[in-house]
Amino acid sequence: MRIVVLAGGIGGARFLRGLKKAAPDADITVIGNTGDDIHLFGLKVCPDLDTVMYTLGGGINEEQGWGRSDETFHLKQELAEYGVEPQWFGLGDRDFATHIVRSQMLGAGYPLSAVTEALCDRWQPGVRLIPMSDDRIETHVAVDIDGERRAIHFQEYWVRLRASVPAHAVVPVGAEQSKPAPGVLEALSEADVILFPPSNPVVSIGTILAVPGIREAIADAGVPVVGLSPIVGDAPVRGMADKVLAAVGVESSAAAVAEHYGSGLLDGWLVDEVDAAAVERVEAAGIRCRAVPLMMTDLDAAARMAREALTFAEEVRTV
């Protein structure tokens, strides 16, 4: 079975770990979000790709969900001693190696997809991880700072400001001119199932869908497309998805996110049991819906969610 998963960071990575356990023989391709990539200290940092790679490759800091296990922060401390900005982004000593290798390969002319493949040679994530695009796309967030509207990098909004100010718009700068990375459209066209894990619908999956051709390839794939709600009981399971949902005019609820994707894209949508009341509304929008436990408390819970998604995909297919 060929499964394609659109993934952001922590939520996507943990779901993927469950999926690998639920479907150990499946051929899994992950289309990773690169909209939150950032250039820091002359290095190219790809937080979502790395979170997937480290999580599936056994190098993740389990507690925080991002960054490396057994990490130290001496280099970062020294950069601060030099007074170098920004100081709000937490790059660890081990993590820096990934960005150095990536930056060196990019500088040598390799596209990000080839670089990601090379990095995965080491980590052996057990999936094929492809960035959504080899082109530079950077998610910017419009916020008011000192009474003035400004567009800041998503990471500055998310990490430095902790999404503490209203986001008026979220724009994947560069997306319109971008192309899917090699392998993305092919994977979608050959997929048996396409899954949207409980990732951020705006700045993770929404950014991937903003790459021209990807949304169409999903809609045209002719295979079940099943998503899992990142919102449980009207609040994001993790992170601050509600903040960016507001920016795109979508209420923070399991049903509203399904409607935001729409029946042109989604065939099935899983909501948490606490959102059972949303099933009717989602189905009224032309999307099959089911309420199942959606809290990824551990690997087994993630595997159960993945199994539910695959089972639901079969049901959706045969209808």
Q: Which residues are annotated as a binding site?
A: 50
Task: Identify which of residues 100 and 152 has a Cβ nearer to a copy of itself in the complex.
Answer: 100
Q: How far is the CB of 44 from a copy of itself (least distance, A)?
A: 11
List 29, 55, 61, 98, residue binding a copy of itself (CB under 8 A): 98
Q: Which region among 21-29, 96-104, 148-156, 250-258 touches a copy of itself (by CB under 8 A)?
A: 96-104
Q: How far is the CB of 77 from a copy of itself (least distance, A)?
A: 8
Task: Identify which of residues 39 and 149 has a Cβ nearer to a copy of itself in the complex.
Answer: 39
Task: Identify which of residues 43 and 159 has a Cβ nearer to a copy of itself in the complex.
Answer: 43
For the segment 148-187, give every residue that binds a copy of itself (CB under 8 A). none
**x/- track of binding to a copy of itself for residues 69-88 (CB under 8 A):** --xx-xxxxxx-xxxx----
Q: Determine the length of the chain.
A: 319
**Residue ranges of the alpha helices (H) in 45-134?**
47-57, 74-81, 93-107, 112-123
The C-alpha atoms of residue 65 and residue 42 are separated, in whole angstroms, by 25
Task: Identify which of residues 69 and 311 has a Cβ nearer to a copy of itself in the complex.
Answer: 69
The C-alpha atoms of residue 131 and residue 144 are separated, in whole angstroms, by 31
Q: How far is the CB of 76 from a copy of itself (least distance, A)?
A: 8
List 58, 90, 107, 233, residue binding a copy of itself (CB under 8 A): 107
The C-alpha atoms of residue 90 and residue 96 are separated, in whole angstroms, by 10
The C-alpha atoms of residue 63 and residue 55 are separated, in whole angstroms, by 11
Paired tokens of 71: 């990490």
Amino acid identity, position 35: G
Q: How far is the CB of 128 from a copy of itself (least distance, A)?
A: 19
Q: Which of 317, 279, 276 is nearest to 293 (CA)?
A: 276
List 100, 159, 246, 301, residue binding a copy of itself (CB under 8 A): 100
Q: Which of 198, 221, 207 is nearest to 294 (CA)?
A: 198
Q: Is the peptide bond before 86 cis (omega within 30 degrees of 0)?
A: yes
Q: How far is the CB of 119 from a copy of itself (least distance, A)?
A: 7
In degrees, to the nearest 5, what angle opens at C-alpha 30 toward C-alphas 170 and 228? 65
**x/- track of binding to a copy of itself for residues 14-43 (CB under 8 A):** ---------------------------xxx
What beta strand segments (E) does the chain contain? 2-7, 27-32, 38-40, 43-45, 128-131, 138-145, 148-153, 169-173, 193-196, 225-228, 231-232, 235-236, 268-271, 288-291
Task: Identify which of residues 75 and 219 has a Cβ nearer to a copy of itself in the complex.
Answer: 75
List 101, 142, 151, 274, residue binding a copy of itself (CB under 8 A): 101
List 1, 88, 90, 122, residue binding a copy of itself (CB under 8 A): 122
The C-alpha atoms of residue 126 and residue 27 are separated, in whole angstroms, by 9
> Does 253 interact with a copy of itself (rule: CB under 8 A)?
no
Q: How far is the CB of 153 from a copy of itself (least distance, A)?
A: 17
| Binding region for a copy of itself (CB under 8 A) | 41-43, 71-72, 74-79, 81-84, 92-94, 96-98, 100-101, 103-104, 107, 119, 122
